[in-house]
């Protein structure tokens, strides 16, 4: 049976799109107002899994989520890459020339500024969520009002896409991690990616020693993120994503780097995600 | 002559406190609403220097500022570390028992939640800035209203500290970079710290090769931050801070690592900052 998946954001959000890609189109999602709430729901067992954005190809790491994840005790069981596509949507039958007002999250309005600025008479209204803006266009049934959101929002709320792919940066991707409680994070067969975090003793070359051992085993370090180490001002721990061909490489790496770290934990071993 | 220093935030903000520590108590500051505006003011020559927070010991890197800095063409000429201390301040003569309403930035209210929550009848009001909240207490002259802000705000706006050090996390430090146009960034004598960024060719072990050469020269890597490399999805450049005893070590490092990077730029060489 598919788990209910805690997602950040509302029905029709990019998190829901990503959840459907990973778990299938019938996936039930539990919308959460914040990422902390996603983690709480999964950790408490209210939902079987959760999905959280961890980085964006343009904006970079979502740093607070690295900290949330480390503190949560949850495990990473997979990842999804999603291309962020923003569309202008309105009530069916509305044309571009009918639009007078556009609602969306400030970040989405910014991503589409080049397009939106062509229409000087449009009033741009900031809201807390892209999909929620779309839902309100439907609920309030106001002609002349459009929302900027992902395609799923148009489908769910029966809106028509008036202009598609209106975002300026076409190569905008978000990476989502699929998380679960350790007992629910099913072991995948022959994983080719792992997420772990470690800290070193902060002597000269301590990080270099770890990375050399990883590289010597033919493992690709696809991401390295430093995060503040709680309780030790200006000391860091590192979150690392490793890609490899054979799980034996990872086992060898864990064996080789443990002695040169001051602490190491594997957040999860999983299959490298695909891009949708 | 001292430069006017562009700072993020208002008169009395932590940026202004940091600017006074670096440039002296008489420093003139030019308040800017955003970090982008700080960079614009310095880059355009409107101000001789700028000060921007780059990381916090609890929250971590302020990632957008790394990108701003890299794109700006500005140079780093120094750094300041500031302990973040929050105080409750009100009109002179007011006592704790008089307070009914507390204004501040949501982050400051959060940092002081343990203290504030002891007073169930206080109404907490979010504002855009700590120091601006203090200024308004003065301007509106409302008894019973307090602000949470740094000590400089109390001094500037003639408020009395009703309760000091009300932040929960006592080890909360912010690191600020002092930036200037290349022609205004005076060369410091015998620097012992440098900021640089580089990118590698993303083959296995490319980052390890760079870090090993740095470590081999006895240089301490005090910070390593990966940031998205524009135009190359899921590729990163690295911002690195290096600490060393002799500037000759840095020169040797630059010579040794250039061949194993795909691009390297020195953002600045300066003296390691002190903590205030």
- The domain A87-163 having CATH identifier 3.40.190.10: the answer here is yes
Q: Do A234 and B225 touch (CB under 8 A)?
A: no
To the nearest 10 degrees (0 to 180), the angle between helices B206-216 and A206-216 is: 140
Instruction: pLDDT tens for chain B, 276 residues: list them.
Output: 678 999 998 999 999 999 999 999 999 999 998 999 999 999 999 999 999 999 999 888 999 899 999 999 999 999 999 999 999 999 999 999 999 999 999 889 989 999 999 999 999 999 988 999 999 999 999 999 999 999 999 999 999 999 999 999 889 999 999 999 998 877 889 999 999 999 998 788 999 999 999 999 999 999 999 998 888 888 999 999 999 999 999 999 999 999 999 999 999 999 999 999
Instruction: Give CA angle at A80 (A76, A86), nearest 5°.
Output: 140
**What's the complex ipTM?**
0.84
CA distance A72 to A67: 8
Identify which of A58, A223, A233 has the shortest CB distance to residue B57.
A233
Ranges in chain A annotated CATH 3.40.190.10: 5-84+172-180, 87-163
Closest residue by Cα to residue B85 from B175, B174, B177:
B174
CB distance B204–A219 less than 8 Å?
yes
Contact B171 A233 (CB under 8 A): yes
Helix then strand then coil, % of chain A, to nearest 5: 30, 35, 35
Mutate to test the interface with B, among A36, A66, A170, A207 (most CBs of B within 10 A): A207
Confidence of residue A229 (pLDDT cuts 50, 70, 90): confident
CATH 3.30.70.260 residue spans of chain B = 193-270
| CA proximity to B19, closest of B158, B149, B178 | B178
Q: What is the mean pLDDT of residues A157-164?
A: 97
B interface test, pick of A59, A69, A215 with most B CB neighbours within 10 Å: A215
What's the farthest any 2 CA atoms get from each other in chain A? 66
Which secondary-structure segment (H or E) carries A253? helix A247-257
Per-residue pLDDT tens digits for A97-136: 999 999 999 889 989 999 999 999 999 999 989 999 999 9
On chain B, the residues whose CB falls within 8 A of the CB of A218 are 204
- For residue B275, how many other CB atoms are within 10 A of its CB? 12
Q: Identify which of B147, B165, B167, B65 has the alpha carbon closest to the alpha carbon of residue B101.
A: B147
> Residues of B with CB below 8 A from A174's CB?
none
**Mutation test of the interface with chain B: which of A55, A61, A65, choosing the one with the most B Cβ atoms within 10 A?**
A61
User: Considering only CB atoms, which chain A residues are within 8 Å of B233?
Assistant: 57, 171, 173
Residues of A in contact with B57 (CB under 8 A): 228, 233-234
Q: Do B60 and A59 touch (CB under 8 A)?
A: no
Tokens of B163: 């309760």
- Nearest by CB: B215 against A205, A215, A236: A205
CB pairs < 8 Å spanning A and B: 93
- Between B204, B212, B230, which is nearest A208 by CB? B212
Q: Within 10 A of A123 (CB to CB), how many other CB atoms are there?
A: 11
Q: Which CATH class is domain B5-83+172-180?
A: alpha beta
Fold that domain A5-84+172-180 belongs to in CATH: D-Maltodextrin-Binding Protein; domain 2 (3.40.190)
Class of domain A193-270: alpha beta
Cross-chain residue pair B207–A214, CB shorter than 8 Å:
no
In chain B, list all ranges with CATH 3.40.190.10. Answer: 5-83+172-180, 87-163
B31: distance to nearest CA of chain A, Å?
Answer: 24
């Amino acid at each position: 049976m598919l788990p209910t998946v805690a997602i950040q954001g509302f029905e029709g959000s990019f998190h829901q799109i990503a959840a459907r890609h990973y778990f299938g189109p019938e996936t039930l999602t539990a919308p959460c107002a914040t990422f902390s709430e996603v983690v709480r729901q999964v950790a408490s067992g209210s939902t079987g899994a959760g999905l959280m954005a961890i980085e964006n190809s343009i904006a970079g790491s979502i740093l607070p989520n690295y900290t949330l994840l480390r503190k949560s005790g949850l495990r990473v069981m997979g990842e999804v890459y999603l291309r962020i596509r923003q569309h202008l949507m309105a009530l069916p039958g509305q044309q571009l020339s009918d639009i007078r007002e556009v609602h969306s999250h400030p970040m989405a309005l910014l991503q589409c500024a080049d397009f939106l600025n062509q229409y000087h008479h449009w009033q741009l209204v900031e809201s807390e969520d892209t999909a929620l803006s779309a839902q309100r266009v439907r609920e309030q049934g106001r002609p002349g009002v459009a929302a900027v959101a992902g395609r799923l929002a148009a489908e769910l709320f029966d809106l028509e896409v008036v202009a598609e792919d209106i975002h300026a940066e076409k190569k905008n991707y978000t990476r989502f991690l699929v998380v679960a409680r350790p007992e629910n994070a099913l072991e995948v067969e022959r994983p080719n990616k792992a997420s772990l975090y470690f800290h070193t003793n902060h002597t000269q070359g301590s990080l270099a020693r770890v990375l050399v051992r990883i590289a010597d085993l033919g493992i690709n370090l696809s991401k390295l993120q430093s995060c503040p180490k709680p309780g030790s001002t200006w000391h860091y721990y590192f979150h690392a994503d490793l890609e490899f061909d054979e799980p034996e490489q990872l086992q060898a790496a864990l064996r080789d780097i443990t002695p040169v770290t001051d602490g190491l934990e594997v957040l999860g071993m999983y299959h490298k995600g695909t891009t949708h």
